[in-house]
């Protein structure tokens, strides 16, 4: 295919994308403004935009955002330290890998969100139960990827380093860590994403504060326009954080 036609193809697909999104927006606007879709189900996009501007301008979102991000930071810190430490310890022996890896993978296949009612019973409706659910969901990808990273370093590198007289620390710093880091970073990124999702989800289900709580609160008050604005805000925050972690991962892998 010539490069000229290729360029034209690319342009056409961009046009289709823009057209699709524009049609969606137009349908949304027409549906709410003229065709009488109930504003309780789907508010007018212009109204949502005003609400969003109001939320951002008044700084009303700050307390909720602080709660959610605080929970996320604590949960991710706990699952990182415990996941990487435990993963490293298990990966030191092939036997331990064969004992523990299927066990952890088995628990990982259970939808851990099921334990949320239990955590609410243990830790109450406050941040405690959200931190617990975020930690236990993000722990598994981190520990499994740490095991995969450290446990399956090519034997030939280890043997070569040993035979050249590398100390334990040198072995860790210059052989194991560089080999394992990309896999571990992937685990950390997945862990971060699922921690954020599960914290937003558990705030939606049962909570006292946080972005998820705010959205539910507005839904129950039937303030749909403001709820849409908060949803857009939460999605934007999540997208920003995910893009940030992905680019951090890519940058760290390149080194």
Partner 1 sequence: MSATASVRKTFLRHPALARLCVIAALFLLWEIAARWWVDPIFLSPPSRVVSELGELFETNGIPAALRITFWELAVAFAISVAIGLVVGLAVGLSRFSNRSFMPIILLLYGTPQVTILPLFILMFGIGPASKIAFGVSHGVFPIVVTIVAGVQNIKPILMVAARSMGASRWQIFRWVIFPHMIPSFFAGMRLGMTGVLLGVLLAELYVSAAGIGYFTTLFTQNFDPTRLLGLISVLAAMAIVLNEIVRRAEVHFGRWRTD
Binding site for partner 1 (CB under 8 A): 9-10, 12-13, 16-17, 20-21, 40-41, 95, 98-100, 102-103, 106, 109-111, 113-118, 120-122, 196-197, 200-201, 204-205, 211-212, 215-216, 218-220, 224, 227, 231, 234-235, 238-239, 242
**Cβ at position 255, least distance to partner 1 in Å:** 25
Question: Smallest distance, Å, CB 133 to partner 1?
Answer: 11
CA distance 4 to 10: 10
Kindly tell me the sign of the dihedral angle through the C-alpha atoms of 114, 120, 125, 129. Answer: negative
Closer of 98 and 174 to partner 1 (Cβ): 98
When the beta carbons of 181 and 206 are compared against partner 1, the nearer one is 206
Residue 132 vs 175, nearer CB to partner 1: 132
Distance CA 243, CA 36 (A): 37
Shortest Å distance, C-beta 54 to partner 1: 19
Give CA–CA dist 140/131, Å, rounded: 15
Cα–Cα distance for residue pair 148/44, rounded to 1 Å: 49
Q: Which is nearer to partner 1, 20 or 29 (CB)?
A: 20
Closest distance of CB 99 from partner 1, Å = 5
Q: Minimum distance from CB of 217 to partner 1 (Å)?
A: 9
The encoded tokens of residue 250 equal 């890519």
Q: Which residues of 31-42 are buried (b: 16+ CB within 10 A; e: fewer)?
A: ebeeeeeeeeee
CB of 135 or CB of 224, closer to partner 1:
224
Residue 132 neighbours by CB distance under 10 Å: 21
**Dist CA 183 CA 224 (whole Å):** 42
Residues ≥6 apart with Cβ < 8 Å to 93: none
User: Whose Cβ is closer to partner 1: residue 188's or residue 218's?
Assistant: 218
Taking a C-beta distance cutoff of 8 angstroms, is the pair 210, 130 a contact?
yes
**CB-based contact 182:124 (threshold 8 Å):** no
What is the smallest separation between the CB atom of 167 and partner 1, expressed in angstroms? 29
């Amino acid at each position: 295919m010539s490069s000229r036609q290729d360029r034209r193809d690319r342009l056409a697909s961009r046009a289709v994308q823009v057209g699709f999104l524009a049609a969606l927006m137009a349908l949304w606007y027409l549906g709410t403004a003229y065709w009488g879709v109930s504003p309780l189900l789907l508010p007018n996009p212009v109204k949502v935009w005003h609400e969003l501007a109001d939320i951002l301008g008044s700084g009303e979102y700050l307390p909720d955002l602080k709660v959610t991000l605080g929970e996320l930071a604590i949960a991710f810190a706990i699952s990182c330290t415990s996941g990487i430490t435990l993963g490293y310890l298990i990966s030191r022996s092939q036997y331990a890998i064969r004992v523990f890896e299927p066990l952890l993978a088995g628990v990982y296949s259970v939808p851990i969100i099921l334990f949320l009612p239990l955590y609410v019973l243990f830790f109450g409706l406050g941040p405690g139960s959200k931190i617990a659910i975020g930690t236990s969901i993000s722990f598994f990808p981190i520990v499994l990827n740490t095991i995969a990273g450290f446990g399956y370093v090519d034997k030939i590198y280890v043997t070569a380093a040993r035979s050249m007289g590398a100390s334990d620390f040198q072995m860790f710093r210059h052989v194991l860590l560089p080999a394992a880091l990309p896999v571990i970073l992937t685990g950390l990124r997945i862990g971060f994403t699922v921690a954020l999702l599960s914290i937003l989800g558990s705030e939606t289900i049962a909570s006292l504060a946080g972005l998820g709580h705010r959205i539910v609160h507005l839904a129950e008050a039937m303030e749909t326009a403001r709820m849409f604005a908060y949803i857009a805000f939460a999605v934007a925050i999540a997208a920003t954080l995910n893009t940030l972690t992905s680019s951090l991962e890519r940058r760290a892998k390149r080194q």
